[in-house]
Amino acid sequence: MKSAEYEPSELLTGLRQCLRHVLANPDDIEALHAMRVATRGILAHLDKDSSAFEQLKTLINLSNDLRDQDVFLSKGIHRLPEKFLPNVEDGIRYVQYLRGEKMREFLPQLQTIHAQWGTWSSCIEKALANAIAADKSIEPSGTIFEVRIQLKKARKRLKKPMPKERAVHKLRIRLKKARYLLNHLQPDHPSNKSLKKLQALLGEHHDITQMKRMLFHSLPVAHTGHFEEVRQTLNAQQEKLWRKAGKVMDKSI
């Protein structure tokens, strides 16, 4: 089975291109998302205790609110009962305002990283080179074994009733890391498809969680007559996604 060949400089070049795209197109939702995906792809290789990991994790943390706002504005409002929409028009405008303010805070930080790229990326490239060398020394069977363990745990969890949102989030993060590692080491492995589908379904689940947080804590939804209906609708959507993820697991290795 084919193994991926990649170098630290290539991964960091990809991240830098994404960063430039965000700077040039701050209102482009997909540009921000691509930057976060590129960052997570590198994080998957690094030791959580390393300074390079913390450095990149900061980039993710700084953009978390922006991503939540983007998801709400681009996808979230379409999940709401139609009759509820007129009640959140002011709220939608408020989220758009918050997004603009957050991006104005975020852009100078990105500009600093871009201007100091050589210094900023040097320790990451070194840590990444060491991590990739370690990855290449791993026997493919060992990688598959680790992925199988994660899938086995996920299958067991997904056969049970949907847990609290924090537990779903932890499961999503574990599977995301397994997918990144397997995709980098063995891009043609059949489990990549299952992991990609799982990541998409649990990602949608997470998006709804963040949307509920935004609606019920940031917007005046609780003061409308539709609060309970909205809560039940969104919970039902999450239950459906959880069941779909379980079916994907039944077909995986």
**Domain check: are 67 and 149 in the same one?**
no
**Domain check: are 155 and 75 in the same one?**
no
User: Which residue among 89, 114, 137 closes a domain?
Assistant: 137
What is the DSSP-derived secondary structure letter of residue 161? P
Tens of pLDDT, residue by residue over 215-233, are 776 665 545 556 777 788 8
Mean pLDDT over all residues of the chain? 82
- As a 3-state breakdown, the chain gives helix, strand, coil percent values, each rounded to 5, of 85, 0, 15
What is the DSSP-derived secondary structure letter of residue 7? -
**Domain check: are 162 and 123 in the same one?**
no
**Domain check: are 26 and 73 in the same one?**
yes
Structurally, how many domains does the chain consist of?
Answer: 2
**Domain check: are 114 and 232 in the same one?**
no
CA 172 from chain centre, in angstroms, equals: 9
Tens of pLDDT, residue by residue over 61-116, are 999 999 989 988 888 777 777 777 776 777 788 888 989 999 999 999 999 999 99
CA 180/CA 196 separation, integer angstroms: 9
237: which 2 tokens? 């959507």
CA 19/CA 168 separation, integer angstroms: 29
**Domain check: are 96 and 10 in the same one?**
yes
Angle at 117 between CA 115 and CA 121, to 5 degrees: 160
User: Which residue among 137, 168, 200 closes a domain?
Assistant: 137
With bands split at pLDDT 50, 70 and 90, how would you rate the model's confidence at 253?
low
Q: Are 4 and 186 in contact (CB under 8 A)?
A: yes
**What range does the domain containing 193 cover?**
138-253
**Domain check: are 94 and 175 in the same one?**
no
**Domain check: are 170 and 69 in the same one?**
no
User: Which residue among 106, 137, 168 closes a domain?
Assistant: 137
With bands split at pLDDT 50, 70 and 90, how would you rate the model's confidence at 152?
confident
**Domain check: are 104 and 177 in the same one?**
no
**Domain check: are 184 and 132 in the same one?**
no
Alpha helix ranges (H) inside 86-164 = 89-115, 117-137, 140-158
The residue type at 198 = L
**Domain check: are 125 and 143 in the same one?**
no
Tens of pLDDT, residue by residue over 188-209, are 877 788 888 888 899 899 988 8
DSSP string, 216-253: IIISGGGGSTTHHHHHHHHHHHHHHHHHHHHHHHHH--
**Domain check: are 60 and 182 in the same one?**
no
